[in-house]
């Protein structure tokens, strides 16, 4: 049998080894034309450069926010010092009139980064009881930690795997110059990370006992996401993708607290987008807030992105992906905490930007397990590019999350997706 | 006016040019020119290797159109990645490998699942025929016989019998187990023999 095998192998080798055939003369022109056409396209290095600039810009933007926030933190760490105000006259807003007693006394004990004018017209404030007690340190111990240094976490590392199942259906373009189309359906967890943070320059609009939480991220949203996308190879290793994704976050809410009431002033200062004026002092504790319920947030997203997928060995490739996503957010049934008064309010879509932009960058490695089935692991970082709250609000979404995701990619037609 | 040494070099050079009207550019020079993206050097590389590479393309493609496509893309790939070539003496071997890899890459994209279903490794087909003289055919007929086989088998035969790759490497390239690669080869041989018998008749 072996002799027979080598016989046919030898015959085939003799017939075809070293075969030389002169190709048609127009072949070289065709190669030149292809190379010229490729040069005219937006070259690969330009895509890579653009993506790098975007990533670096993103990093610089995040870093600059981190620094400015830290600066506020340091000034906050100096304790309850009086901050001189440039405002010559100040008067209470009609609905927010408070009693302040002695302005100097307040400044030494109770004020927290509130701009108090030297000409504070205490007589114009309405009188209420309990102010002195508050400012003489009778606040519950729970308030004490807020005089210490503030810190901010811009990045939130999510040390868990995001598992994504992707079903990819390549549609062959029948040897056209362009690559094939792909359809992709994916399901993954934790692709939506939202953290709230304070705008440092408007920190005096936020209740002092809430400020740390807002600085560090009031809460984060992590939700399952269902996505659909159409993908197309635009160059050999470059793929454009666009699609639609839907994510929903459901979370239980539980509030049980009692906190001091803020004292706000109006004249000479500017209200934020919700009509709240800077807080210059705090009064006695307000009513106790108790609530238990569930909130639901929906994110409808339109992601558009580019992936660069150079080969890495015979059965694998590197994956670098950058995408921009327009998101429509809506909420149902939940309560939200007013950052100024610490009161509970019904969720209102009006308080938030209807649309906000987010971006995601990911890089990793993909390996073909067997024809039609691939597995990938990607490190990723995503975040909001535009504020979640309305413009002019004292808080905004500072939505960042970093994570590690795995994907199982099944190609309906076989081959590497 | 001219020294005898100058005259000697002039005569030698002129004679050399007459005997070799197209003086051979060394691989080093060709590669350096291609790395710079010089179209003249690229053309020279093409002129030198296109016939051989076209032979490979024809072996791995089912028809001339596909072979021409492969030839074009292969040379573009060669020009793109020639800077990665370490040893200029291995230029031809390296180019052959680039073309084979590209052919297999295309093939992987185009193939559909069933062709790569796992075969039982024990399925080594018995080949009872004794060595009988095989016909001498025209090149076009040999290619026709090879391409009459399902592409998987033709590819494995190409890789093993002509390009002399070991089973392990063929298995990796084809994305199958080594045993499976052997089975594919065995079946391919049998199919080729049957095809040759048909042609004899």
User: Hey, are the CB atoms on B71 and A370 less than 8 Å from each other?
Assistant: no
* Predicted local confidence at residue A2, as pLDDT: 55
Q: Which of B78, B101, B109 to mutate to test the interface with A (most CBs of A within 10 A)?
A: B109
Pick the CATH number of B24-112 from 1.10.1740.10, 3.20.20.70, 1.10.10.10, 3.40.50.300: 1.10.1740.10
Q: d(Cα B29, Cα B26) in Å, to the nearest integer?
A: 5
* Predicted local confidence at residue A286, as pLDDT: 83
* Predicted local confidence at residue A85, as pLDDT: 31
Tell me: pLDDT of A275 over 50: yes
User: Hey, are the CB atoms on B72 and A27 less than 8 Å from each other?
Assistant: yes
User: Does any CB of chain A come closer than 8 Å to the CB of residue B45?
Assistant: no
* Domain A157-256+289-411 class in CATH: mainly beta
In chain B, what are the helix, strand and coil shares in percent, each to the nearest 5? Answer: 75, 0, 25
Q: Which range has the top average pLDDT, A12-21, A346-355, B92-101?
A: B92-101
Ordered by start, the domain boundaries in chain A are 157-256+289-411
Sort out which chain A residues have CB atoms less than 8 A from B146's CB and list them. Answer: 12, 16
Please identify which residue in the block is written with the tokens 């984060």.
A220
Instruction: State the first-to-last Cα distance of chain A, in angstroms, to the nearest integer.
Output: 40
pLDDT above 70 as % of chain A: 52
Query: What average pLDDT does chain A have?
Result: 64
Q: What is the pLDDT of residues A357-378, one digit of tens each?
A: 888 888 998 887 766 677 788 7
CB-based contact A393:A358 (threshold 8 Å)? no
Long-range pairs of B120-129 with CB within 8 A, sequence gap ≥ 24: B120/B183, B121/B177, B121/B179, B121/B180, B121/B182, B121/B183, B123/B183, B124/B182, B124/B183, B124/B186, B125/B183, B125/B186, B125/B187, B125/B190, B126/A1, B127/A1, B127/A4, B127/A5, B127/B186, B127/B189, B127/B190, B128/A1, B129/A4, B129/B193
CB-based contact A200:A162 (threshold 8 Å)? no
Tell which wins on pLDDT, B48 or A156: B48
Among B76, B134, B146, select the one facing A35 at the smallest CB separation.
Answer: B76
Among B79, B126, B175, select the one facing A371 at the smallest CB separation.
Answer: B175
Tell me: pLDDT of B167 over 70: yes
Average pLDDT of A327-348?
A: 81
Tell which wins on pLDDT, B105 or A383: B105
Cα of B154 to nearest chain A Cα, Å:
11
Q: Which range has the top average pLDDT, A33-37, A197-201, A329-333?
A: A33-37
User: Hey, are the CB atoms on A21 and B54 less than 8 Å from each other?
Assistant: yes
Measured in degrees and rounded to the nearest 5, phi and psi for residue A357 equal -100, 140
User: Hey, are the CB atoms on B46 and A17 less than 8 Å from each other?
Assistant: no
Among B43, B134, B158, select the one facing A11 at the smallest CB separation.
Answer: B134
Whole-Å CA distances, A210 to A51, A218, A248: 37, 9, 26
Sort out which chain A residues have CB atoms less than 8 A from B48's CB and list them. Answer: none
ipTM of the modeled complex? 0.77
User: Hey, are the CB atoms on A22 and B54 less than 8 Å from each other?
Assistant: yes
* Predicted local confidence at residue A216, as pLDDT: 59
Domain B128-200 in CATH 3.40.50.970? The answer is no
| Residue range(s) in chain B whose domain bears CATH number 1.10.1740.10 | 24-112
Q: pTM surpassing 0.80?
A: no
Task: Mean pLDDT check: name the lowest of A34-48, A121-135, B40-54.
Answer: A121-135
Cα of A304 to nearest chain B Cα, Å:
25
Q: Which of A31, A169, A236, A368 to mutate to test the interface with B (most CBs of B within 10 A)?
A: A31
User: Hey, are the CB atoms on B72 and A34 less than 8 Å from each other?
Assistant: yes
Q: What is the pLDDT of residues A86-105, one digit of tens each?
A: 333 233 333 333 333 322 22
CA B157 to chain CA centroid, nearest Å? 13
Tell which wins on pLDDT, A331 or A159: A331
User: Hey, are the CB atoms on B192 and A34 less than 8 Å from each other?
Assistant: no
Q: What is the pLDDT of residues B63-87, one digit of tens each?
A: 889 999 999 999 999 998 888 888 8
| Residue range(s) in chain B whose domain bears CATH number 1.10.10.10 | 128-200
Residues in chain B: 201
């Amino acid at each position: 049998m072996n002799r027979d095998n080598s016989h046919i192998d030898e015959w085939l080798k003799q017939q075809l080894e070293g075969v030389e055939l002169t190709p048609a003369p127009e072949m070289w022109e065709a190669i030149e034309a292809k190379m010229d056409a490729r040069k005219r396209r937006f070259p690969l290095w330009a895509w890579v450069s653009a993506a790098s600039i975007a990533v670096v810009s993103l990093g610089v933007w995040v870093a600059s926010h981190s620094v400015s926030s830290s600066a506020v933190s340091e000034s906050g760490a100096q304790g309850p010092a009086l901050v001189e105000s440039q405002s010559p006259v100040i008067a209470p807003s009609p609905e927010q009139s408070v009693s302040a007693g002695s302005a100097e006394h307040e400044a030494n004990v109770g004020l927290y980064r509130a701009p108090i004018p030297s000409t504070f017209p205490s007589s114009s404030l309405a009188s209420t009881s309990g102010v002195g007690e508050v400012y003489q340190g009778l606040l519950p111990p729970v308030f004490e930690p807020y005089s210490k240094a503030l810190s901010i976490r811009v990045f939130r590392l999510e040390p868990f795997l995001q598992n994504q199942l992707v079903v990819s259906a390549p549609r062959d373009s029948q040897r056209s110059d362009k690559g094939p189309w792909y359809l992709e359906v994916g399901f993954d967890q934790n692709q939506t990370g939202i953290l709230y943070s304070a705008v440092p320059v408007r920190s005096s609009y936020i209740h002092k006992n809430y400020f740390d939480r807002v600085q560090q991220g009031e809460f984060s949203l992590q939700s399952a996401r269902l996505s659909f996308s159409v993908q197309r190879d635009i160059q050999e290793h470059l793929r454009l993708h666009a699609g639609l994704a839907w994510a929903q976050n459901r979370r239980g809410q539980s509030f049980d607290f009692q906190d001091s009431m803020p004292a706000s002033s109006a004249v000479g200062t500017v209200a934020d987008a919700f009509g709240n004026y800077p807080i210059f002092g705090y009064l006695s504790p307000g009513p106790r807030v108790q609530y238990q319920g569930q909130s639901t947030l929906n994110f409808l997203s339109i992601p558009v992105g580019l992936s660069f997928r150079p080969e890495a060995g015979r059965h694998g490739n590197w994956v670098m992906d950058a995408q921009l996503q327009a998101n429509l957010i809506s909420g149902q049934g939940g309560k939200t905490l007013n950052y100024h008064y610490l009161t509970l309010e019904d969720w209102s879509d009006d308080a938030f930007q209807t649309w906000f932009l987010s971006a995601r960058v990911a890089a990793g490695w993909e390996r073909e397990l067997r024809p039609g089935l691939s597995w990938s692991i990607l490190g990723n970082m995503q975040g909001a590019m535009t504020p979640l709250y309305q413009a002019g609000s004292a808080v905004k979404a500072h939505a960042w999350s970093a994570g590690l995701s795995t994907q199982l990619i099944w190609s309906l037609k076989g081959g590497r997706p | 006016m001219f020294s005898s040494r100058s005259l000697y070099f002039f005569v030698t050079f002129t004679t050399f040019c007459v005997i070799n009207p197209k003086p051979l550019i060394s691989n080093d020079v060709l590669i350096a020119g291609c790395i710079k993206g010089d179209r003249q050097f690229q053309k020279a590389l093409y002129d030198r290797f296109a016939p051989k590479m076209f032979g490979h393309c024809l072996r791995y493609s089912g028809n001339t159109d596909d072979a021409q496509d492969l030839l074009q893309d292969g040379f573009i790939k060669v020009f793109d990645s020639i800077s990665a070539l370490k040893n200029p003496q291995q230029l031809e071997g390296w180019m052959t490998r680039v073309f084979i890899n590209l052919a297999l890459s295309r093939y992987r994209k185009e193939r559909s699942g069933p062709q790569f279903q796992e075969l039982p490794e024990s399925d080594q087909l018995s080949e009872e025929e004794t060595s009988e003289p095989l016909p001498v055919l025209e090149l076009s007929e040999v290619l026709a016989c090879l391409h009459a086989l399902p592409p998987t088998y033709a590819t494995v035969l190409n890789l093993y019998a002509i390009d002399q790759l070991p089973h392990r490497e063929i298995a990796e390239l084809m994305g199958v187990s080594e045993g499976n690669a052997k089975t594919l080869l065995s079946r391919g041989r049998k199919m080729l023999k049957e095809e040759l018998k048909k042609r004899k008749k």
